[in-house]
Each structure stands twice: as structure tokens, then as C-alpha cells.
Amino acid sequence: MAAATTILLISGLGCRQDMHDEPKFFPQRGTDFYADGRSARPQVADTIARNQLHANTYFYSGFIDGKEGDGMPFPVTMKVLERGQERFNIYCTPCHSRVGNGMGMIVDRGYAHVPDYHTPRLEAAPLGHFFNVISNGYGAMPDYAAQIAPADRWAIVAYIKALQLSQKATQADVPAGTHVEPISSIAESEGLPANFASQWVLPPTAAAGTPDNQPYVLPPTVPNPGITPSGVAGASSAAVVTKRANASGGTTAAKQ
Ligand code: HEC
């Protein structure tokens, strides 16, 4: 038995650990291999990684010479608009609503105020502004760069423009002789009230998010019974635990 153990020990010592001991860099740890002491190496100057060549900067940024540009980086077709509508309805309507009036379901339930797209300022905004807002966020709005690829962001931008035009379209905007049906009669023909597509108002819960329309106040913090000010459980916190246990019918007390 002793001999077997000795053999095992010797063979164990002989086991090489090349993979374990090989020279390598640990994340966030320095090194003396490189003169600057950094193990995470900066990108080599004048090189570009695959898929990082953003030669068409307008397509990727929405900016021209540091200013939001106007116009699309590719032609708008019906397919682009349909894709934009689909992506808009998925990602933007929860807050901006399907018509872009800023009264989406999340706002309905107390999210920060969302602007209406059909205001003179946003109607006049360059297309690059919308691309920029989706890519980088805007104030209380988070960015959607991770969820929506650049081409789809532009498709959404084109669709927002169509939404804006649709709200103010007149007979003069369509080829002569085209029959234009008022939206109220379309609603009625589908069995909906005539005012179905009219501007709607948010319920009183929207702005403040509370039933009495008062600003929401966080309840006072309940002290954690296990932690006294010194950070150690002591006699006073034990008293708190007992009181709570009693209040809940003693079941917790029995367990403690
Ligand atoms: C979670 C809610 C939410 C979603 C989803 C959302 N937004 Fe917004 N959006 C906001 C809020 C809030 C603001 C106002 C931000 C502010 O002014 O602080 C805003 C503002 C904007 C503005 C106006 C910027 C300006 O100049 O005033 C645009 C344009 C816009 N959003 C586009 C979009 C698009 C396009 C999408 C979908 C890709 C989207 N948003 C999705 C909440 C949202």
C-alpha cells in the first residue's frame, strides 16, 4: 500500500502542467512584456478590424461635417418603408404610439413625457436627427443601437417621415383622380366609432403614474433588522425581529 502511494506521488509530481503554467495575460492585469505595461493591447495604428470599415460615415452616423444631415443614405422603396413600419411598431410604439403622437402604452402608465412627432420642430428636423436619436438615445430615451442595425434605423427614419406626412396629407398630395377616403369613414366601415382615429388624450394616471395624480413618493426605507448601524447584528435588531415575528402571528418566531 505504502509503495503504491509512493508511486502515485512520484508520478503525480512528474505530471507536467504546461497549459496551466504557460505564459499568458490575465484580463485587467498588467505585464512587463510590453514597454507600456498594458496586457490589453490598443488597436494597431492605421489598421481596421473586419466589419469595422465604416467608410460611408453618413450611413453609420447620420452626421455630415459634425452636423445632423438631411436625406437618406439609400433610396426609399416600398420595401424599405414596410420594413421601417414593422421595426417602428416593434421598437418605438410602446412609447411613441403607432401614429407617433407620444401616447404609447408605457407613457399611458407613467413613463417620462414623450414628444409628439407632429410638431413643427420635429417635422422640420433633418432625417439625421432621427437616426442620431435611435443610435445614441435622447434625454430620457434609451438608445436602440444594440437592437436595431443601421439599415433598419434608416428604414424607421423613412417611416417616421411617412407618418409625419400622413397626418397632414391633402388631396393635392396624391395623383389627380385618386379617391381619398376620410379616415373617419374607414373607421366606420370597419365597425368602429367615427372618432376612432382622432387625437386621443392620456388618462389621468399617465403624467404622474398615481391614482390621485400626485407625484409618487418612495415609502420610507425599512431598516434591515439584521444590520445595526455598526454593521453587526446586536441586541436592538433582535428586538425588531421579535416584534415583527409577533405581528405575523408568531409563525416566524417559532422558526427562529
Ligand atoms: C421606453 C420608451 C421609448 C421608446 C421605446 C422609444 N422612445 Fe423615443 N423618446 C422617449 C422619450 C421619453 C423621449 C423624450 C426624451 C427627452 O426629451 O428627454 C423620446 C424622444 C424621441 C424623439 C424626439 C427627440 C427630440 O428631438 O425631441 C425621437 C425622434 C424619438 N424619441 C424616436 C424614437 C424612435 C425612432 C424609437 C424606436 C426606435 C423610439 N424613439 C423609442 C421614449 C422612448
Output the DSSP codes for 74-87: S---HHHHHHHHHH
Report residue 116's pLDDT band, with 50, 70 and 90 as the boundaries: very high
When pLDDT is averaged across residues 207-227 and rounded to a whole number, the result is 58
Q: Is the pLDDT of residue 193 over 70?
A: yes
Specify the pLDDT at position 253. Answer: 35
Among 68, 93, 95, 113, which residue has the most ligand 1 atoms within 8 Å of its CB, making it the best to mutate?
95
Better-scored residue on pLDDT, 176 or 91: 91
When pLDDT is averaged across residues 196-216 and rounded to a whole number, the result is 64
Burial 180-196 (b: 16+ CB within 10 A, else e): eeeeeeebeeeeeeeee
Specify the pLDDT at position 251. Answer: 36
Q: Is the pLDDT of residue 78 over 90?
A: yes
Q: How far is the CA of 96 from the centre of ligand 1 (A)?
A: 7
Q: Which fold would CATH assign to domain 74-168?
A: Cytochrome Bc1 Complex; Chain D, domain 2 (1.10.760)
- Nearest alpha carbon, ligand 1 atom 42: 141
When pLDDT is averaged across residues 224-234 and rounded to a whole number, the result is 49
Domain regions of the chain by residue span: 74-168
Specify the pLDDT at position 8. Answer: 52
Burial 107-143 (b: 16+ CB within 10 A, else e): bbeebeebebbbeeebeebbbbbbbbbbbeeeeebee
Reference 161, options 198, 119, 120, 117; nearest CA is: 117
What is the rounded CA–CA span in Å between residue 197 and residue 114? 19
Specify the pLDDT at position 219. Answer: 62
Report residue 197's pLDDT band, with 50, 70 and 90 as the boundaries: confident
Max Cα–Cα distance, the chain, nearest Å: 104
Q: How far is the CA of 85 from the centre of ligand 1 (A)?
A: 16
Q: How far is the CA of 39 from the centre of ligand 1 (A)?
A: 40
- Nearest alpha carbon, ligand 1 atom 9: 141
Contact 30, 120 (CB under 8 A): no
Of the chain, the percentage scoring pLDDT greater than 90 comes to 39
